[in-house]
């Protein structure tokens, strides 16, 4: 079963790919290599592309027919996000929306309601998104004020 891992050439994405491969899945790393590294992709193919490029996402979904997506292709530098908020909104909001829309468009069959297996029809029903930096808070005051 193919699992698309956006940001698969980054630290968290590459370790996720390693764990997926060990569990018997085929991780497909989708990365624009802006902060990831091609050498980190060792457990499945690398599909170079950006989550803002809907046409490229479509190509990758048609080629690999992922059953699930693990999304790690968000920008996460707090300092830069304050200096360049539109860059972050564009990638993290618009890019994620592109990804979700492509997933929706490739959801050909709901396997829970039919007798078809997950590998049939290239349907993609599941997404996991994680931001590692959201868990790294400094100080003891909660909630953290922006």
b/e per residue 35-65 (b: at least 16 CB within 10 A): ebeeebbebbebbebbbbebebbeebbeebb
Whether 143 is covered by a domain: the verdict is: no
Whether the per-residue pLDDT at 129 is higher than 80: the answer is no
138 lies in a domain?
no
- The per-residue pLDDT for 123 is 55
pLDDT at 94: 94
Q: How much of the chain, in percent, has pLDDT values that exceed 90?
A: 62
Predicted confidence band of residue 126 (pLDDT cuts 50, 70, 90): low
pLDDT, average across residues 126-133? 55
Whether residue 52 contacts residue 94, with contact meaning beta carbons closer than 8 Å, is answered with yes
The predicted structure's pLDDT at residue 23: 97
Does 43 fall in a domain?
yes
CATH assignment at residue 19 = 3.40.50.720
**pLDDT score, position 77:** 87
Q: Is residue 15 part of a domain?
A: yes
Structure tokens at 51: 């989550």
Number of domains composing the chain: 1
CB-CB contact of 94 with 76 (8 Å) = no
54 occurs within a structural domain: yes
Q: How confident is the model at residue 107 (pLDDT cuts 50, 70, 90)?
A: confident
CB 67 within 8 A of CB 123: yes
Average pLDDT, the chain: 83
Nearest by Cα to 129 from 70, 68, 52: 70
Range of the domain at 106: 2-132
Distance of CA 76 to the CA centre of its chain: 14
* Whether the predicted pLDDT of 142 surpasses 80: no
Helix 54-64 with 96-105: angle, nearest 10 deg: 40
pLDDT one-digit tens code per residue, 17-46: 999 999 999 999 999 999 999 999 999 999
Tell me how far apart the alpha carbons of residues 124 and 2 are, in angstroms, rounded to a whole number: 10
User: Is there a domain that residue 19 lies in?
Assistant: yes
The reply to whether 146 falls in a domain is no
> How far apart (Å, rounded) are the C-alpha atoms in residues 103 and 74?
17
| 59 domain residue, yes or no | yes
């Amino acid at each position: 079963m193919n699992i698309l891992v956006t940001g698969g050439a980054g630290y968290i994405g590459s370790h996720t790919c390693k764990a997926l491969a060990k569990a018997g899945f085929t991780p497909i790393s989708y990365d624009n290599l802006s902060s990831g590294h091609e050498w980190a992709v060792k457990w499945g193919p690398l599909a170079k592309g950006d989550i803002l490029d809907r046409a490229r996402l479509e190509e990758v979904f048609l080629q690999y027919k992922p059953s699930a997506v693990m999304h790690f292709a968000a920008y996460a530098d707090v300092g830069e996000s304050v200096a360049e908020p539109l860059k972050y909104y564009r990638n993290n909001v618009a890019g994620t929306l592109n990804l979700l829309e492509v997933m929706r468009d490739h959801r050909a069959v709901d396997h829970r309601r039919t007798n078809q297996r997950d590998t049939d029809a290239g349907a993609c029903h599941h997404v996991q998104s994680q931001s590692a930096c959201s868990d790294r808070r400094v100080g003891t005051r909660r909630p953290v004020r922006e």
